[in-house]
């Protein structure tokens, strides 16, 4: 897939950078010093893995290690532009599928919630993804009572398209945005 191996997205308040295999391993090991060095941003001290990604890091770091060009299709660090402090993580569930869909996810550390960082990062990643070859639709799924996640999805331009059953058996809402054109 023809995509830069290390894109960086700058927003008004954030710098978003995809995690390399080394960065993913450092985060998984909860090694803040190694994570700082691998990403060029400052992770929490004491170190805490960003919400919702811990269970996927081992698999993702192996996959990105085998194919570094896939890094942008997985986890991105969200760091404040001024002080380079990581406030959370966002990203996709892998490269576009056969239908041109990618699935967006986002999470912010509790201390940084309710400041618009997730919405700002989600909007930037949606814009980036829709410019990539092979991407036709960006989607996000969430449980029906996650109003904060729904709000972030709407602010990122996604609209509710229905419901589906997640692989874990739970019903989730589906939000999507299609490539303009």
pLDDT for the residue numbered 53: 86
CA atoms within 13 A on the CB side of 155: 16
Model confidence pLDDT, tens digit, residues 36-55: 999 999 999 999 999 888 88
Name the band, by pLDDT with cuts 50, 70 and 90, for residue 17: very high
Model confidence pLDDT, tens digit, residues 63-83: 999 999 999 999 999 999 999
In the chain, the percentage of residues whose pLDDT exceeds 90 is: 86
Please give the model's pTM, rounded to 2 decimal places: 0.93
pLDDT at residue 1 above 50? no
pLDDT for the residue numbered 6: 67
Report all structural domains of the chain as residue ranges with CATH numbers, in order of start: 9-178 (3.40.630.30)
pLDDT for the residue numbered 55: 85
Model confidence pLDDT, tens digit, residues 117-152: 999 999 999 999 999 999 999 999 999 999 999 999
pLDDT at residue 108 above 90? yes
């Amino acid at each position: 897939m023809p995509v830069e191996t290390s894109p960086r997205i700058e927003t008004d308040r954030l710098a978003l950078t995809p995690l390399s295999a080394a960065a993913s391993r450092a985060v998984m090991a909860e090694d803040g010093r190694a994570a700082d060095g691998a990403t060029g941003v400052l992770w929490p001290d004491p170190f805490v893995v960003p919400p919702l990604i811990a269970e996927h890091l081992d698999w993702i770091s192996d996959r990105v290690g085998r194919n570094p060009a896939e890094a942008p299709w997985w986890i991105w660090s969200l760091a404040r532009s001024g002080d380079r402090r990581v406030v959370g993580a966002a990203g996709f569930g892998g490269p576009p599928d056969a239908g041109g869909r990618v699935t967006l996810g986002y999470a912010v550390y509790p201390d940084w919630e309710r400041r618009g960082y997730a919405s700002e990062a989600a909007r930037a990643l949606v814009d980036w993804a829709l410019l990539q070859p092979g991407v036709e639709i960006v989607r996000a799924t969430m449980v029906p009572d996650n109003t904060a996640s729904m709000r972030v999805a709407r602010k990122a331009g996604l609209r509710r398209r229905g419901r589906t059953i997640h692989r874990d058996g739970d019903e989730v809402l589906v939000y999507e945005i299609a490539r303009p054109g």
